[in-house]
Amino acid sequence: MNSDEHQSIGQAMRRAHQVTSIAMELAVPAGLGAWFDHKYGTSPLWTIVGVLIGSGVATLSLRQLIRDLEK
């Protein structure tokens, strides 16, 4: 492999990591919210809070990813 191929693979791996991180930013807060709801019987309060927090964080990360791709 030449250096251009190595660079392309590295860039693809960075993008895959960013996309995976965005998915986790959505899933983890919602999952924690669901766990709190189950534990404390507050359904669906904390699940909704987790989804809103996760959506906000994921939106910021997605905006950053889009900015990086436009460079």
CA distance 38 to 40: 6
Residue range 13-33: average pLDDT?
97
For the chain, the helix, strand and coil percentages under 3-state DSSP, each to the nearest 5: 90, 0, 10
Task: Write down the pTM of the prediction.
Answer: 0.87
Nearest of 21, 19, 30, 20 to residue 54 by alpha carbon: 30
pLDDT of residue 8: 92
Residue 16 has pLDDT above 90, yes or no: yes
Confidence grade of residue 1 (pLDDT, cut at 50, 70, 90)? confident
